[in-house]
Structures are given as structure tokens and as C-alpha cells.
Structure 1
Amino acid sequence: MENRHNAIQQPAEILLKEIELENQIRELLNDTQIYFDYNIVPDKQDAKTPLIKLDLITINREHNQKFLFHSTKGHNKIAILEDMIAYITEFKKNQESYEIEWIDTKHNAKVQVSWFRGNDIFDVLQKFYYDKKQSRFKILKITLMPES
């Protein structure tokens, strides 16, 4: 028998709770296409115990691009997912809204428009450039949107 260490070895109750929380996040984000990207990362405070990092990725079907919605870290997936839910329910109250006009210089020269929420312009740019080569994209304009 293989010596495997993965999620499927968790008790069914834990897996069902994780699925329930992921589904709650999907509901909170309505029609947004999202992907849960889990990774093991080092803990700077405790090198012996790694952390689980969740990058919640949005995927825009119109222009086929991935953007970072939010990242969070913790010692177990349930705590991370609960943290993500808290972030989602509060982020509109605490963050600015930005509109970015941009071009993918490799695939087409059509101007695309994407909307982001962030603490500041640097936070928004980090979300925009997540897992991308910066040289491939040309940002034409970033607009801080008025609160509605």
C-alpha cells in the first residue's frame, strides 16, 4: 500500500466541512468563476511547522485571465476558509474599488477592463499581475472609482 499524506486521509466530517465552506465562498461571490489554490509554505515564526496558503483566484471567461482575489494562510483548511469568508463579507466596506484598462500584448490588442478591490493601488496591481509576466501586459489606465 502507498504511503500517502493528502486530504483524502482526513475524516469525512472534516472533508464535508471544507466542501461546505468552499461552497459558501462560491455563493458569496455569485457568478464569479473561482479556483481554490492551496499550497504548503514555510512559517516564518516556526520553521518546523509549515502553513497552508490559500490563493483564491478569479477567472474571467471573457478574456481568459486569472486574477488574485485574496490570499490567506493558516494551519488548517477550515480556519483558512473561515478567514476567507470573513474577508469576503467585509472587503467591500474596507477597500477601495479600482478599474483597470489593459491590453494583453501577446494575444490581442483589444482593450480590456477589469475591476478590483484593494487597500491601495499596489495591492490592486499585485492582484492584477498574479502569476503573470508583467512585460506581457500593458496597463493603460487605473481609475479609483467613487463609492456608490
Structure 2
Amino acid sequence: MSLTDTSKHANCSAMSDVLSRIGDKWSVMVVGMLSRNGTLRFNELKRMINGVSQRMLTLTLRNLERDGLVSRMIYPEVPPRVEYTLTEMGKTLQGPINALWDWSAEHHVSIVEARDIYDQRQMTVAASEPRKIAYSRGQ
């Protein structure tokens, strides 16, 4: 199936399906960390990804595994050792994800500054508008 014709419903559905998985915050972080660090254990990933809960990391890894982007290897040791790595298909995301990481790092300060300017402008507009008071009629 070619996704070049974005006017077709099936193409939009396919794009939406894929982006809902690889476009979410935690999936991008997991793929990025595995891309930059190679094979990692669960707790290594958890330490590297600031703010992710154990439950959310578990769900994200399961979903990425289900989609064929991450593989999970369980070693029969006591305690069991579990490692995660990108599959061949998952490795095809390295370029786009790393480009997104690099772009984010390069432009983060400018984005924060733009947000501050926007927020200040919104507060100025809100402060200069007359207050609207709602009156109710007593019956």
C-alpha cells in the first residue's frame, strides 16, 4: 500500500495508527534511548527516561514489542534478566527519532522564549479587556 495519496481514508487511517504508537512521548523516548545506547535492561531504561513510571514503561515496551519495533530477550537466570533492543524495523526509526531529538535540543530555548512571549501577550490582552459580568434575573 502506498501512502502517497493522503486524501484516501485508508491512508489516513494507516498514518494515524502508526503515529499514535511511534508519536507518543514515551515511545519516542524508548526508541531514542535504545537507538543511542543499544541493548538495555528495564531498570536502565527507567533510569534514563526522566519521569516515566514503571507501569507506563512496561506498557510502552509491550506495545513497541507488539508492533515489531522492540525485541525482548529473557535470560533464564535468578533473578531473570530481561533486555530490550530495537528490531531491524525499529532501527529504521533511528534517523527520524535522532533528527527529532537533535532538532528539539537545538530549538528548545527558542520555543521556551516564544511561549513566554505568547503568554505575556495573552495576559496583556486579557488585562486590557473590560470584564464581562453576568447578571441573573431574580424570579
Same fold (TM over 0.5): no
TM-score per shorter chain, which class?
A: under 0.3
Higher RCO, Cα 8 Å, sep 6+: 2
More strand by share: 1
Structure with higher helix content: 2
- Superposition TM-score, scaled by structure 1 size: 0.22
Q: Which structure has the greater CA radius of gyration?
A: 2
> TM-score w.r.t. structure 2 length?
0.23
